[in-house]
Amino acid sequence: MNSHDIDVARNMELHSRKRKHVCSVCLRNFSKKSTLVTHVRRHNGEKPFQCSECLKRFSHRSDLIKHVRVHTGDKPYHCPECLQVFSDKSNLVTHMRSHSGEKPYQCSECLKRFSRKNCLVKHMRIHTGEKPFKCSECLKNFSEKHNLVRHMMIHTGKKPHQCSECLRNFTDKSCLLKHLRVHTGEKPFQCSECLKHFSCKPNLIAHMAIHTGEKPHECTECLKRFSQRSDLLKHMRIHSEGKRHQCSECPKRFSTKPELVRHLRVHTGEKPFHCSECSKMFSQKGNLLKHLKVHTREKPFKCSECLKGFSCKFNLVKHTKIHEKEKI
């Protein structure tokens, strides 16, 4: 054994001595027994450190020290770029990325990058479809907590945000801010093609279809397409004339009897079209054909942002709204 091998052996022995305290739960090694004792609290739930202000308990003294700053207002960490202050060093580190442009967290599905881990976690729900926040009233699920909070106001009737001009109330602050533009006349969204201004982003997006030639609004009767929804509604009046077959359950009218028969299944619940793969039933043949793509794994509709595929256009349109929200 040469001198180099001897040094390596000694270092390995020294390292093994230093790491002689092993956690019986996760088998992690520690050089000090005190560090192991502190670590074990994460497994057994022990929280010996208590806040004297709100009585909240913590397993680590360092966590208590950070928490106490909530009550004292102490913010010892300063950003050297913009002088913003933070109570926690990790928050400062995250904030600094807004200046450096660093985005260390990458989505494994679409390779989009994020400066914060929690932003990546939220984004991943686009791909997984996970909706961990459930409404206790109607059991509807949401991918983000703030969307659940906003939704809950439908059940409570709570509208905490009031317009100072007309005293109208809103469930969400963003809705109030949009509404205020009615009074101020503010139109912050500008078309890059004709420089026309709009008070809200959806109106700008709808307007842009005039320039791009996109026609997202389709007539269900003749499949003619329109760039504006208002133009589609005007066009639909052509088809409503001469519709002799009226539904006995609702005011809707149809030009042919087969169309009325298909529509009546909405009221009767009849589902004559069966999937040969899973025996699922459908009221319309078109819906069965869409469903069959689940089994064939055919996904012809691709998202231009993250390249995720969908079996039907409706799901793609619904999915793209997630990206639109991220850009706002």
At 6 the pLDDT is: 56
Longest pairwise C-alpha distance within the chain = 101
Q: What are the chain's domains?
A: 135-186 (3.30.160.60)
Round to whole Å and give the CA distance between 32 and 45: 21
Q: What is the pLDDT of residues 35-89, one digit of tens each?
A: 888 888 888 878 888 999 898 888 888 888 888 888 888 988 999 988 898 888 8
Q: Which of 259, 254, 317, 247 is nearest to 286 (CA)?
A: 259
At 175 the pLDDT is: 85
Which residue ranges in the chain fall short of pLDDT 50? Answer: none
At 5 the pLDDT is: 60
Q: Which residues contact 212 (CB under 8 A, 6 or more apart)?
A: none
At 237 the pLDDT is: 75
* Global confidence as pTM: 0.40
DSSP state string for 100-141: H----EE-TTT--EESSHHHHHHHHHHHH----EE-TTT--E
Round to whole Å and give the CA distance between 238 and 200: 31
User: Scanning the structure block, which residue is given the tokens 């109607």?
Assistant: 138
At 252 the pLDDT is: 78
Instruction: Indicate the DSSP class of residue 225.
Output: E
Residue 145 identity (one-letter amino acid): K
Residue 61 identity (one-letter amino acid): R
Round to whole Å and give the CA distance between 102 and 98: 7
At 11 the pLDDT is: 56
